[in-house]
Chains A and B, each alone.
Chain A
Amino acid sequence: MIERCFILSFREKKTRRVVALTEKMVVEGGAGDGEWEGRWNHIQKFLERPGPFTHPDFEASSESLQFMLETCKVLIIGAGGLGCELLKDVALSGFHNIHVVDMDTIDLSNLNRQFLFRLKDVGQPKAEVAADFINTRIPGCCVVPHFKKIQDFDETFYRQFHIIVCGLDSVIARRWMNGMLLSLLVYEDGVVDPSSIIPLIDGGTEGFKGNARVILPGITACIDCTLELYPPQINFPMCTIASMPRLPEHCVEYVRMLLWPKDKPFGDTVGLDGDDPEHIKWVYQRSLERAAEFSITGVTYRLTQGVVKRIIPAVASTNAVIAAACATEVFKIASSAYAPLNNYMVFNDVDGLYTYTFEAERKDNCSACSQVPLDMRFSSSSTLQEVLDYLTESSYLQMKSPAITASVEGKNKTLYLQTVASIEQRTRPNLSKTLKELGLADGQELAVADVTTPQTMLFRLSFTS
């Protein structure tokens, strides 16, 4: 039910903007170059023809392609193994307004799968080289690169996108994105305002395994709801490393964690850089010595590097599969042509090919989308402004521009939100009202979203008088 509202609102969102852009286009004098006949034949069949399996709210029309080409904005996070594939897939599916964020530069070991990069590009920012390649190869496509961390942007940046796709290699980064999109949600009368939902499509790969999932923030399970699906990092116990090594890996960890800080082989302040071959060589030699002491075999240069850099094996094929599945979801959601994946697909091609698709469930006590509240004590005659000041001035929280939502008489209500002008105007009068006047009760839960903590935080209000 909620999912239908979301699709409807998505369509309305895009209809409005198509009108706006067409006017703008007339002013600027014309469409991009590089069009040719038949270019979009393969895609148009899905957009212009009705069908028996389409989403109930799908309307066959030639406007959809226009929306996708000219208006729809897609953000791709990561320009690496998954990112390169995603850029290609999304661009060839009719999306020409794409932004890509990646904080890394290109390494030689990327070239076996990150096909937008060449030998001459080693050392350059991934986002920039990737954008350049796509824009050259696919006429009319405009990929805007950002050689930045995702945390360098605030919600004004993320709010502009219709869909966000992640091709990240870290759980922490995923949780941050997840938290950011949760913090953008606006509640009205106890229901999530569908136009504040930005779908998050997340892909991950490791060797021959991968997964693709669709997250509708506030509606479906989020990243934190399913944290147990992310395997914990292998960390060996210290006593094993320090005095009882058995595996070649233990020997390398010994050198990395204990010997290097002691010997400081390249200078007092020089930390171990996994990308520096001289550093790895040093670690490798010492690891061999350590291993010899205990008659352990198997220490190789490759193993050493793998342990120091926590290398995960990777191939082009798995990334291709997962990125493609994610891009298919981007297309489905943007076009409303089919119901999106609900909501998690797992893939493994070690033995034959195996996929498993299931609906990951929301967790009642999820730390991100439904947390355990923190205590907040105020008198019932304090104003909302005082609560706001507490959130911004308290040394513990130091929030920038918190948005406060409360559950009043069973319904969620946005009490104050600064970052969207129209909502700020509407809710500004609340600041001078007392908590009692706003209908807040003792034991009340307040949800606070802010850029400083990508996760919406829950507070429990305790009245002192």
Chain B
Amino acid sequence: MAATKASKEQKYDRQLRLWGDHGQEVLENAHVCLINATASGTEILKNLVLPGIGAFTIIDGHTVLGEDVGNNFFLSQNSIGRNRAQAATELLQELNSDVSGNFVEESADQLLDNDPEFFHRFSIVIGVQLSESTRLRLGSVLWAVGVPFLVCWTYGLMGYMRLVVKEHTVIESHPDNALEDLRLDRPFSELTDHIQSYQLESMEKKDHSHTPWIVIIAKFLETWLTEHDGQPPKNYKEKEAFRQMIREGILKKENGVREDEENFEEAVKNVNTALNPTKVPSSVEDLFNSEQCTNITSQSAAFWVMLRAVKEFVLHEGKGCLPARGTIPDMISDSQRFINLQNVYRDKALQDAAAVAKHVESLLQTTGKVLGKNAAFLRVVHCRSLAEEYAVESVNKDEITSCMDSPDSEMVLYLMLRSVDRFYQQHSRYPGVYNYQVEEDISKLKLCVTSLLQEYNLNVSIKDDYIHEFCRYGAAEPHTVAAFLGGAAAQEVIKMVSHQFVPFNNTFIYNAMSQTSATYQL
């Protein structure tokens, strides 16, 4: 047992450094469903099986065709004639013995007819190359029971993803380039006491040159505040003057030349960061004011209970501030004083986290240590339902129309895909699949485009070139486009399952022709 655990840690080492052991655990307890084992589908699953998703189930009633094997790494020549779900499951399962693979030899529509509750058991359902009607049926079933639904479609040189989830909460969003939480404008008492213990004027050179810049700025800020009526440097001119003040603090040699004090240089460089006012980000304020946070009931999800606890903290112990994050960036300093300074922030964070936990207890019986250091980065994603996107009353006209001001924006690809949906509805096939159909289908597809735009009252025009191009595609699913989508979609699934990092909201379009992409909220 120990051997397997150790070798799993080694095998997954490179990804554990991204989402941690706790993220991996959630992944290993998840069960994802894939509908249709086309190239796009198997590529998505490959990128979930490799990192060790707990289980997958493929639902597919199709029989493997020659062209399926041609673009799909997880079907082989002797799969031809067999059920596609079964054939793909074998070759996907072979990738990772930690994962449990299952298949159902039925179409999604059949399951929806006979046993819609079958879908309730999944952490997320991924539907690939679905017709509009199947998509909408699935969308409605999954929306009702709160199972996230990811729609994926590779159509010619276009990749399309739509995330459908009522509410998805993220505690660990892992933002790039987050601002530091230094509290220099509103120092807590322990920080003030700690700063007091430094006397820059009476330090020996060695200590002076290795005093952490946070302390330096705090000291000079104290002086500035007394000289400026308690007002910190606000504009560029004042900040420059403040920087100059710090520079003047650099030790001078006997001949009046300044010493080389890198820690003071660091202080000067970090003035802007240090003077960032400590406040609750507006995104978090919005969450505080949301209905879910205001009305905590016995039905409230843990995330909202914890968020409410943070809100209570802000109102009481925090005196308007979030729980302290507790980390400081590395900086020039001797070890002792850096560690001591770091501990001041760390202890404060622990204190604040304990206070948050107390609030949580009084709301519920859970703790929120992870919550403390991520408080500023909490995110909630709400996606509109497919029904809302497709209904004439609620279609996002504004977004579509304004994007189409640039007639070659990715939005045109979205509209073409919706038009192709119509074509399929009318003709029970996709345009241009066979060579002889390409020419004649152009006018038929154009009619679909026109009717789509009319029905939604969209005052946009679509170039004929795109209509021709979409007939040319003949609903082809080239492997490289499917593989791109496979990587993109799989990572969104991992985000959904682990609640780490922020998923997209809610439509992603990839244009392989121009190697560009766009995200729309439709």
Residues of chain A whose beta carbon lies under 8 Å from any beta carbon of chain B? 34, 36-43, 45-46, 48-53, 85, 88-89, 92-93, 108-109, 111-113, 115, 137-139, 207-208, 212, 240, 244-247, 294-296, 302, 305-306, 311-325, 327-329, 331, 338, 341, 345, 348-353, 355, 357
Cβ contact within 8 Å between A36 and B50: no
Query: CB of B174 within 8 A of chain A?
Result: yes
3 interchain residue pairs of minimum CB distance: A320-B487, A38-B66, A321-B487
Cβ contact within 8 Å between A313 and B469: no
Cβ contact within 8 Å between A53 and B18: no
- In the complex, A48 Cα to B432 Cα: how many Å? 13
Q: Which chain B residues lie closer than 8 Å to A348 at the CB level?
A: 176
Question: Smallest CB–CB gap between A258 and chain B, Å?
Answer: 15
Task: Check A89/B483 contact, CB under 8 A, given A45-B473, A49-B435, A313-B18.
Answer: yes
Query: CB of B338 within 8 A of chain A?
Result: yes
Q: Which chain B residues lie closer than 8 Å to A327 at the CB level?
A: 479-480, 483
Cβ contact within 8 Å between B18 and A320: no
Cβ contact within 8 Å between A320 and B70: no
Cβ contact within 8 Å between A320 and B505: no
Say which residue of A208, A296, A314 sits within 8 Å of B491 (CB atoms): A208
- In the complex, A51 Cα to B174 Cα: how many Å? 43
Q: A42-B478, A317-B494 known; 20 other A-B pairs, CB under 8 Å?
A: A36-B80, A38-B65, A40-B67, A40-B70, A42-B479, A45-B472, A49-B435, A53-B513, A112-B13, A112-B50, A113-B14, A113-B15, A245-B335, A246-B338, A302-B13, A306-B17, A321-B487, A328-B515, A352-B508, A355-B515
- In the complex, A105 Cα to B522 Cα: how many Å? 47
- In the complex, A66 Cα to B175 Cα: how many Å? 48
Cβ contact within 8 Å between A108 and B478: no
Q: Which chain A residues lie closer than 8 Å to B438 at the CB level?
A: 49
- Mask: chain B, 40-73; 1 = CB below 8 Å from A; 0 = not: 0001001100111000000000000111011111
Cβ contact within 8 Å between A41 and B70: yes
Cβ contact within 8 Å between B480 and A331: yes
Q: Which chain A residues lie closer than 8 Å to B326 at the CB level?
A: none
- In the complex, A277 Cα to B247 Cα: how many Å? 49
Cβ contact within 8 Å between B483 and A296: no
Cβ contact within 8 Å between B477 and A51: no
- In the complex, A53 Cα to B176 Cα: how many Å? 37
Number of interface residues of B (CB under 8 A): 87
Question: Smallest CB–CB gap between B393 and chain A, Å?
Answer: 27
Q: Which chain B residues lie closer than 8 Å to A345 at the CB level?
A: 515-516
Question: Smallest CB–CB gap between A204 and chain B, Å?
Answer: 15
Query: Which of B4-12, B227-235, B315-323, B356-364 lies at the interface?
Result: B4-12
- In the complex, A313 Cα to B334 Cα: how many Å? 30
Q: Which chain A residues lie closer than 8 Å to B16 at the CB level?
A: 302
Query: CB of B201 within 8 A of chain A?
Result: no
Cβ contact within 8 Å between B335 and A296: yes
Say which residue of A48, A49, A85 sits within 8 Å of B483 (CB atoms): A85
- In the complex, A39 Cα to B80 Cα: how many Å? 11
Q: Which chain B residues lie closer than 8 Å to A329 at the CB level?
A: 515
- In the complex, A320 Cα to B510 Cα: how many Å? 14
Question: What are 28 of the A-B contact pairs (CB < 8 Å)?
Answer: A36-B69, A40-B70, A41-B66, A42-B67, A42-B479, A45-B473, A52-B466, A88-B483, A92-B39, A92-B479, A108-B11, A109-B13, A112-B51, A113-B51, A208-B18, A240-B332, A244-B210, A246-B330, A246-B342, A311-B13, A314-B14, A318-B487, A319-B487, A320-B43, A320-B46, A324-B483, A350-B501, A352-B503
Question: Smallest CB–CB gap between A38 and chain B, Å?
Answer: 3
For B487, give the chain A residue with the smallest CB separation: A320
Q: Which chain B residues lie closer than 8 Å to A320 at the CB level?
A: 43, 46-47, 483-484, 486-487, 490
Q: Which chain A residues lie closer than 8 Å to B7 at the CB level?
A: 108
Cβ contact within 8 Å between A353 and B17: no
- In the complex, A43 Cα to B512 Cα: how many Å? 14
Cβ contact within 8 Å between A352 and B504: yes
Question: Smallest CB–CB gap between A37 and chain B, Å?
Answer: 5
- In the complex, A40 Cα to B175 Cα: how many Å? 43
Query: CB of B457 within 8 A of chain A?
Result: no
- In the complex, A439 Cα to B520 Cα: how many Å? 62
Q: Which chain B residues lie closer than 8 Å to A207 at the CB level?
A: 18
Question: Smallest CB–CB gap between B337 and chain A, Å?
Answer: 9
Say which residue of A41, A85, A312 sits within 8 Å of B67 (CB atoms): A41
Question: Smallest CB–CB gap between B431 and chain A, Å?
Answer: 12
- In the complex, A253 Cα to B477 Cα: how many Å? 49
Cβ contact within 8 Å between B50 and A113: yes
Question: Smallest CB–CB gap between B309 and chain A, Å?
Answer: 25
Query: CB of B95 within 8 A of chain A?
Result: yes
Cβ contact within 8 Å between A357 and B50: no
Q: Which chain A residues lie closer than 8 Å to B487 at the CB level?
A: 316-322, 324
For A320, give the chain B residue with the smallest CB separation: B487
Q: Which chain A residues lie closer than 8 Å to B517 at the CB level?
A: 353, 355
